[in-house]
Amino acid sequence: MELVILKYLAAFLLFLSIIRPLVRGLWKLHGLTICPLLALGIITAIFPAYGFRPECIPLLLFALFLSFANLPDIIALFFGLQSDSYIDRGILFTLSSAAAFIFTLWISVHFAPPLISDFSTEGVETIFLQRGRLHIRIYGPVEEDIDTGRPLLIFLPPIAGSFEVSDTVCTALRDRGFTVLSLSRLNFDSPSFDQDGTPVRLFFMGLYRLGSALTGGLNNTRANARGRNLEESRRMDIIYILGELTRSSFLTDHLSHTDINTVFLAGYGAGGAAITVLAGRDDIVERFPQLKGIITIEAPLLSSLEGDPLPPPLPLPADPVKAFYQQALEFINNIVPRKITHISDIPRPALPLMFILSDRVIQERTGRYETILRTLGASRNIALLAAIPGAGPFDYSDSPRLYPLLSFLFRGASPNENDPGITDNNQNIWPELTASLIVNFAAFILENDMDHTQEIPREIPLEIPWEIQLKKTTLENVYLEKGGVWHFPAGQTILHP
């Protein structure tokens, strides 16, 4: 509710500034000159207080524009001078400003998040490890559904959004038979949460590093290096959690009714890339035999991307001026980001693996999804790619509900009119569909007794990928591709949970 009030307060200040040239009674109210500046301050404060709100960005840009338009009057006001330049703007400027204002305000209202969005509490335990730096949420069985031997799913939420955008998915997975362990790291995820439950959001530089890694990690080496750091941190977290499960610890005390010898890993983005790399390391697979399979969601492998290497340094000339020039040139070449030009080492996962992706992957076989497609083919165990028609990169979570503008701008490649359950207004179905895909895959692995201890051929089959169909799902036309090595009779497919 506070967010709505702030947006409407900023909109009211902008409205006063727009109509002031047309209303003679407002000319003498010189304090109205700073209305755009106040509105700009209010909208700017929304981001550190409430996190990234994409629907407020157009209104923020309009407030910035109007502040610059009023800059001469604002300067005059602060120096105690008289200025009425706003009167001479003309009707065309006023009407165009009003149209832009109405449009940006409509975006901020139409794509606003729900007023109430609380975390699930039923059957959920919250614990902190590593002196409060690692926040764990355990989604266990509710009282009327106490059973034993539930498989454990270690779930890595998106770094941008964290628990906020994955809570509904975790709840749906719990309701389908998993015990779900989700984690968030303090001052790493945005937002993270302290032991009092207060959200801790990244400051400007942290948001810049995170945003550049997410948006530019596929394009230039500097952003890619930041993305690699995100993947490395997630790898360290997952190895730590798996280590805690192998010994009697404070963590295992909270996993009653759970079979900790049957563990699946799932993750978004950097977390998904991290577990893909871990699944390709034989030492990790042998160290943790309880791992049965991994599921990644929109997780390109930034650690497999490389830029062209820098040329070797030339010997310094004897002339000090030329030597200084050459050293300066080499320094600039080292700090200027280089473009990503090729793919280096691709992991060869030895665990059953499923990639859940936007349906853009059906058409975009290079770029964002190229590392995933290569890993699909290089897998040493069964590998599967799944895409729901109409799904965009942000849709396999609660982002369509909490960040509807992102879901609108980054839609899937194909229309979803063939799937009556999915509509633009039915934003709550995506977490359920995501959970169904994960449970389908896990059930298939367990019922077919897929285990990484089986003898796995080292050579990569050549007859992949190809399109298949789910035998039975909540949707009729989920797109699937097979990869890797399949150990079960032809004709079998993922089982409906």
Q: In whole angstroms, what is the distance from residue 380 CA to residue 372 CA? A: 14
Are 427 and 403 within 8 A, CB to CB? Answer: no
For residue 455, count other CB atoms closer than 10 A to its CB.
5
> Is pLDDT at 41 greater than 80 in this prediction?
yes
Q: In whole angstroms, what is the distance from residue 329 CA to residue 312 CA? A: 13
Q: In whole angstroms, what is the distance from residue 246 CA to residue 150 CA? A: 17
Query: What is the per-residue pLDDT for 181?
Result: 95
> Is pLDDT at 10 greater than 60 in this prediction?
yes
pLDDT band at 27 (very low <50, low <70, confident <90, very high): low
197 φψ region: left (φ > 0), alpha (ψ -120 to 50), beta (else): left
Q: In whole angstroms, what is the distance from residue 35 CA to residue 16 CA? A: 7
Regarding predicted confidence, which is higher, 442 or 195? 442
What is the rounded average pLDDT of the residues 309-332?
74
* Burial per residue of 114-139, b for 16 or more beta-carbon CB atoms within 10 angstroms, e otherwise: eeeeeeeeebbeeeebeeeebbbbbb
For residue 456, count other CB atoms closer than 10 A to its CB.
15
Length of the chain: 497
For residue 372, count other CB atoms closer than 10 A to its CB.
24
Query: What is the per-residue pLDDT for 427?
Result: 66
- For 97, phi then psi, to 5°, come to -65, -40
What is the rounded average pLDDT of the residues 51-77?
86
Q: In whole angstroms, what is the distance from residue 471 CA to residue 486 CA? A: 17
> Is pLDDT at 220 greater than 50 in this prediction?
yes
pLDDT digits (tens, 9 = 90+) for 141-177: 876 555 668 899 999 999 988 888 999 999 999 988 8
Regarding predicted confidence, which is higher, 29 or 287? 287
Distance in angstroms between the alpha carbons of the first and the last residue of the chain: 39
pLDDT digits (tens, 9 = 90+) for 411-433: 888 765 444 445 444 567 888 88
pLDDT band at 460 (very low <50, low <70, confident <90, very high): very low
The conformation of residue 251, written as its DSSP 8-state character, comes to T
Are 208 and 160 within 8 A, CB to CB? Answer: no
Query: What is the per-residue pLDDT for 334?
Result: 65
Query: What is the per-residue pLDDT for 228?
Result: 92
> Is pLDDT at 241 greater than 90 in this prediction?
yes
Burial class, 245, CB count within 10 angstroms (exposed 0-12 / middle 13-18 / buried 19+) = buried
For residue 22, count other CB atoms closer than 10 A to its CB.
12
> Is pLDDT at 491 greater than 60 in this prediction?
no
What is the rounded average pLDDT of the residues 90-95?
82
User: What is the percent of the chain where pLDDT is above 90?
Assistant: 32
Regarding predicted confidence, which is higher, 444 or 331? 444
Q: In whole angstroms, what is the distance from residue 487 CA to residue 235 CA? A: 28
pLDDT band at 494 (very low <50, low <70, confident <90, very high): very low
For residue 493, count other CB atoms closer than 10 A to its CB.
17
For residue 368, count other CB atoms closer than 10 A to its CB.
16
Residue 108, amino acid:
S
Q: Rg (Cα) of the chain, in Å, rounded?
A: 27
pLDDT digits (tens, 9 = 90+) for 11-25: 999 998 888 777 777
Query: What is the per-residue pLDDT for 77?
Result: 73
- Sequence-distant (≥ 6) Cβ neighbours of residue 34 within 8 angstroms: 70, 74, 77
Query: What is the per-residue pLDDT for 264?
Result: 96
Regarding predicted confidence, which is higher, 315 or 110? 110
Q: In whole angstroms, what is the distance from residue 470 CA to residue 456 CA? A: 25
Judge if the upstream peptide bond of residue 465 is cis by omega within 30 degrees of 0. Answer: yes
What is the rounded average pLDDT of the residues 28-47?
85
> Is pLDDT at 361 greater than 80 in this prediction?
yes
For residue 371, count other CB atoms closer than 10 A to its CB.
23
Q: In whole angstroms, what is the distance from residue 227 CA to residue 303 CA? A: 8
- For 389, phi then psi, to 5°, come to -55, 130
Q: Which of 59-68, 319-328, 369-378, 392-401 has the lowest mean pLDDT?
A: 319-328
- Which secondary structure element, helix H or strand E, spans residue 226, and what is its range? helix 221-245
pLDDT band at 323 (very low <50, low <70, confident <90, very high): confident
pTM (predicted TM-score): 0.82
Average pLDDT, the chain: 81
Tokens of 94: 């006023």
